[in-house]
Amino acid sequence: MKSLILLLSTLLLATAPATARATDTFITVASTTSTRDSGLLAYLLPLFEAKTGIEVRVVAVGTGRALKLGEHGDADVVLVHARAAEDRFMAAGYGLLRRDVMYNDFVIVGPKADPAGIHGVKRATHAFRQLATRKATFLSRGDDSGTHKAERRIWKAAGIDPTPASGTWYRETGNGMGATLNTAAELDAYTLVDRGTWLSFRNRRDLVIEVEGDPPLHNPYGIMIVNPKLHPSVKVDASRKFVDWITSAEGRKAINAFHVDGQQLFHATGSQP
């Protein structure tokens, strides 16, 4: 028995944070899983940390949850891609300030065999109408994420409400982008995905890009600092440094320089006020 206690205590001590970070300050950024999965943050953040010594801790969750974390004051900065929700966030007084950062784009992917015949279609709304008519299996995120909101906007613009068909050809996974793509690959289904996640996704099987480039498929990102009046614990100075950096010439250059498979994923739009 004594030896068991000894083993336990040794394990506890041995695993004590020997990996303590060198930096003292850190900020918590609530962002989305698709942003993290694209690999942009893993590329961008070390540049900022090296320059300022401020550690950036990213909590990657769904868009809805990221905004909630901002509302609750559990994050200092919110970086999402859901303009309407961001505006509501600011209007409700949860944010100190908001800036445009960048945009990437969505693509519609589907099976190589393309049973719905939408490959190469120019307009996203036309493609969606085709999918509905042919009742081709389409996976929706179904989770109020930025991707989901963009998808809903396109359905609305096409004049179609797919939700009554939920469970038949239109399936709402309620999952993150990666999990939804896994399912689409399994079922040979169509889905809407941001290019960043698509390029980093390793389990494509027979999925290919069917439709891309149409402006409604653009996906703009906004960054917001949580209002310190509501949550005094917000690290305003460090957060400002981050926001200023990511919208500065240097930050913009870094964003545009991020390539996957030889392709640029994000296009910086931010500018200093």
Partner 1 sequence: MSELSEAFRTAFQLIVELDPKLVEIVLLSLRVSFSALGLAAFLGMPLGALLGVSRFPGRHGLIVLLNALMGLPPVVVGLLVYLLLSRSGPLGGLGLLFTPTAMILAQTVLITPIIAALTRQTVEDLWEEYQEQMRSLGAGTLEAATTVLYEGRFSLLTALLAGYGRAAAEVGAVIIVGGNIAHVTRVMTTAIVLETNRGDLPLALGLGILLVLLAIAVNGSAQLIGEAARRAAG
Strands 55-61 and 95-111: unpaired
When binding is defined by CB under 8 A, the residue of 24, 91, 229, 233 that contacts partner 1 is 233
How far is the C-alpha of 267 from the C-alpha of 220, rounded, in Å?
Answer: 9
Q: How far is the CB of 29 from partner 1 (least distance, A)?
A: 10
Write out the binding residues for partner 1, residues 57-76 only, by CB under 8 A: 57-61, 71-74
Q: How far is the CB of 19 from partner 1 (least distance, A)?
A: 5
When binding is defined by CB under 8 A, the residue of 133, 203, 264, 271 that contacts partner 1 is 203
Q: Does 22 participate in binding partner 1 (rule CB under 8 A)? A: no
Q: Does 33 participate in binding partner 1 (rule CB under 8 A)? A: yes
Are the C-beta atoms of 230 and 94 separated by less than 8 Å?
yes
Q: How far is the CB of 252 from partner 1 (least distance, A)?
A: 24
Q: Does 19 participate in binding partner 1 (rule CB under 8 A)? A: yes
Q: How far is the CB of 245 from partner 1 (least distance, A)?
A: 19
Contact segment (CB under 8 A) with partner 1 among 4-12, 112-120, 139-147, 262-270 equals: 4-12
Are the C-beta atoms of 54 and 25 separated by less than 8 Å?
yes
Q: Does 8 participate in binding partner 1 (rule CB under 8 A)? A: yes
Residue 107, both tokens? 């693509």
**How many residues in the shown chain lie near partner 1 by CB under 8 A?**
41
When binding is defined by CB under 8 A, the residue of 48, 138, 201, 221 that contacts partner 1 is 201
Write out the binding residues for partner 1, residues 68-127 only, by CB under 8 A: 71-74
Which C-beta is closer to partner 1: that of 42 or that of 97? 42
Binding site for partner 1 (CB under 8 A): 1, 3-4, 7-8, 11-12, 14-19, 21, 28, 33, 37, 42, 57-61, 71-74, 176-179, 181-182, 185, 200-204, 231, 233
